[in-house]
Amino acid sequence: MNKPVAQALFCVCVIVICVLTALSLQQSSQKQPTDAVEVAQKPSSADMSRPEQQKTEHDRSAIFSMADAQPSSSVFHSQPKGGRVSGFDFYRDPLNSDQPFMKFEDIMKQESANKAAVMKAQQALLESRYNLVPKLDPEAKMSRGKPLPVGPTARLAQGMTWDQLSQLRPDDIRQRNLFPYHSLPHPLQTNGGQVFPKVQIDMFPRLERFDVEFDIPDAFLPEFPPAMFLTNRPELGDVSRGEVVSINNYYRLFKDILTPVQLDGLRLLLPHNRTIPPKSGYSSSGTPVQGRYRQLARLAKSEDPRLEAKPALGRGLHGVRTAHGVLQW
């Protein structure tokens, strides 16, 4: 092999290595952070080589189907409805099914198709009540630097000004229905449940819903991940270091700033997935973030019905997102 050919091959190899390295770095940078809860809930594949693991004709037969189940007593044929439950069964049928024996796949397909219309109606409601174009304070920032929106954002009744509203007595405001910050309804009240903002779903994809989305613009939401401050170590300032505290990183973040007892107490606050799958239909991210937002939700004192259910991170965010919490200030 002559020298020019060898040099050409060497250049090609160098270029290929550089391209492969760049692609590898790009893929690693785009890789989602590991979600410990999701990993723990995902079953691992097992070798199906043992005889007892093989599916038999009996296993695949229709005798296990509820529709083909035989009555345990011949007397049932003489009883009303043949002894069968032909109406709604709350154990069998998904919540809010339109008819008995509906499959979850059919409900998911229907509500996924309605999602755009649901969010369009919610957006129209928000725009009728509020000016959703954020007015950001040029100097004030949140703890980790996110711009702070200022208000008021409410749209007052026609012909009413803030000065006029401030001169009215509370009874007059109530009688004339002039209070600008009414409680906000759930975007999909029939289903209810926790709704999470996109910034959180990007980190925890398992929290995305097929029927509804978070409705408040990101500019009006608190920071995520939020800042954290230790009351016994105020000199440290924010100790979150821009991360959501989880079972993955709590030890690394706090091993040098908490006592062993405090560190173990923090570990107990984090999820250990003793129940898999989770008891709730919408599992939270399982971090101390939910407690912080739950406190903010209490401060908001909202009448939003979503705050009455199980508290979690998404619920807390939706509490803060109500008119009393975010859009008022």
* pLDDT tens-digit readout, 14-55: 676 776 776 666 665 555 666 666 777 777 777 888 888 888
- 198 phi and psi, to 5 degrees? -60, -35
Domain layout of the chain by residue ranges: 104-327
Report phi then psi at 148, rounded to 5. -100, 120
Give the phi and the psi of residue 150 in degrees, each rounded to 5: -120, 160
- Say which amino acid occupies 232: N
Residue 328 contacts residue 179 (beta carbons within 8 Å) = no
For the chain, the C-alpha Rg in angstroms (whole number) is 28
- Please give the model's pTM, rounded to 2 decimal places: 0.63
Average pLDDT of the residues in 103-109: 90
Sequence-ordered strand ranges (E) for 91-206: 135-141, 147-150
pLDDT of residue 178: 92
pLDDT at 5: 62
Q: Say if residues 158 and 281 touch (Cβ distance below 8 Å).
A: no
* DSSP assignment of 253-295: HHTTTS-HHHHHHHHHHS---SSSS-SSSS----STHHHHHHH
In this predicted structure, what is the pLDDT of residue 6? 65
Strands 135-141 and 147-150: antiparallel
Backbone angles phi and psi of 196, in degrees to 5? -115, 140
pLDDT score recorded for residue 329: 30
Comparing 96-100, 142-146, 309-313, the range with the smallest average pLDDT is 309-313
CA 263, 268, 269, 272: dihedral to nearest 10 degrees? 130
Report which listed range, 167-171, 181-185, 284-288, 293-297, is most confident: 167-171
Q: What is the mean pLDDT of residues 109-133?
A: 93
CA distances from 297 to 189, 242, 306, 324 (A): 19, 22, 11, 10
Neighbouring residues of 278: CB distance < 8 A, sequence distance ≥ 6: 37, 41
SS3 198: helix
